[in-house]
Chains A and B, each alone.
Chain A
Amino acid sequence: MTGEETAPLTPSDRVASVPESGIRKFFEVAAEMDDVVSLGVGEPDFATPYRAREAAIDSLQRGRTSYTANRGMAELRERIADHVTRYDLEYDPTSEILVTAGASEAIDLAFRALVDPGDTVAIAQPSYVSYEPGVRFADGEPLPVPTRAEDRFVLTREALERAGAEEADLLVYCYPNNPTGATMDEEQLREVAAFCRAHDIGVLADEIYAALTYEGEHTSIATLPEMRERTVVFNGFSKAYAMTGLRLGYALAPPDVVEALNRVHQYTMLSAPTTAQYAAIEALDNCEPDVTEMRTQYDRRRNFVLARLDEMGIDCFEATGAFYVFPESPWPDAGEFAEALLESEQVAVVPGDAFGDGGEGHLRMSYASSLDDLRTAMSRLERFIT
């Protein structure tokens, strides 16, 4: 044996190179406090629609607790195929849909199945925190592509060029966006699509918040010319159906890509949670009114929070999707501000730089909370800055 002695269970370099999540220290501070009003939560405050919960219970009572097909129950895949036609997406339930343990699993599978060591993956930022670690776990090279407040955090050709994304093999983004609440319309997506076609880049489109679009209709980049064959679309049940803890998502892609994702999935996850798949079938069959009601509630809260921030003189672009607003931090250092706000007023918000380049100087505030909580949080924030 040569070289340094290491303990038998030393974390791999790959894992050691990935830092701990930036919100961890806030979490620990907040855990010691009573009476925290949290706008730091990235999940719905609603419970899963009752009918979906009931279907999950019923499946358990009937003992439906075995593995399902690797790709997910055929009945579920058929319903997903039907469901996504609302976004003009056409996918064959047999060969082009993979049901996963949350969209997060699907995204991880895509990195592992599509990234070779050294491949460059461009990541539109600020973004959900899992993309960069996911790329690293797959031995890829993450390339942050910062979007800008003056562009309302939309991904533009200029942003891609500034970051040198011509060299990228893949581009991953999330619109409607976590953490900014930005959405992208068809015209804006056309620009990104043209860039990806010109430089032969594959697209991983995280559309988990598609159902939570408040102005206009959600557009998927996969519907644009020559994009379907170079795009994997991710969606799931966590956000739209308030099913985060049930862990159910899916990937839509051409057959050979789904085959590759499934190669990893079948050996690692085997199949997505069976109980959750039953809940998802019921969600797609009968829970549309619940989704509409939740969207209506989010939209009112969005209006409320934007109005209150405006009254306080805090700059915030009009977020049109997901359940986040992304105002400018009243202090230049958003991390310091978030910490001080938590300590003096017990209001939890997340500094924008936790979500990568382009987020600095901003705060993510989630409005997936009751109006009472939002009202309290806004009053405390107002007191804090005046």
Chain B
Amino acid sequence: MDERAELLDLLRENARYTTADLARMLGTDEAAVEEAIAALEAEGVVVGYRAVVDPTKLEPEPVRAHVECNVTLDRETSYADIADRLAGFPEVESLSLMSGDYDFALEIEADSMGEVSRFVSEKVAPLPEITQTVTHYVMETYKTAGHRFEDGDGDDRLTYSP
């Protein structure tokens, strides 16, 4: 792995590593790390940083749903056009075009089931290109963004071993 790929790998592992620690791990200096991060941001490779949160620990606990959308296209409207309209809503956490049985997958997050339902029925379903929506509410999450939601077992190794 080259240094840029290593840096990206480390940032994806933990975006809160300090510049100094990143420099130490990569065997380089802080200025080089700062420059590389600035470049990754400027080029749009790194588009943001956020905490990975266990939603069940939030007050109030947000409601999350996975919405499948089918669409029909016409000469004037492409997938990207529809995606553009959907992506603008702050309730839409993620939006992907899928292969298979449906076209778009939306991850929705809102404060209540009612809010999710209203969002889907008032903002998503009425779009003229959308022919069908199927909403699945998330019941339980065990792992997200590479992190498991469980009490860590901790380190059960002996303090000293040869």
Contacts and interface: CB of A to CB of B under 8 A. Distances in A.
Interface in B74-110: none
B162 interface: yes
Nearest to A36: B159
A26 B162 CA distance: 12
A304 B160 contact: no
Contacts, number: 62
A264 interface: no
Interface string A290-308: 0000001000110110011
Interface in B23-41: 23-27
What band does the interface of chain B fall in when counting residues whose beta carbon is under 8 Å from A?
10 to 19
A84 interface: no
A125 B129 CA distance: 75
B120 interface: no
A350 B160 contact: yes
A316 B6 CA distance: 25
A304 B24 contact: yes
A43 B158 CA distance: 9
A42 B23 CA distance: 26
A38 B25 contact: no
B141 interface: no
A384 B128 CA distance: 69
B26 A23 contact: no
Contact of A371 (B21, B23, B157): B21
A284 interface: no
Given A303-B24, A303-B25, A43 B160 contact: no
A139 to B, nearest CB: 23
B25 A41 contact: no
A178 B155 CA distance: 21
A45 B161 contact: no
Interface of A: 21, 23, 26-27, 30-31, 36, 38, 40-43, 45, 128-130, 178, 296, 300-301, 303-304, 307-308, 348, 350, 369, 371, 375
Given A303-B26, A371-B17, 8 more contacts: A21-B162, A23-B161, A30-B159, A30-B160, A31-B159, A40-B159, A45-B157, A300-B26
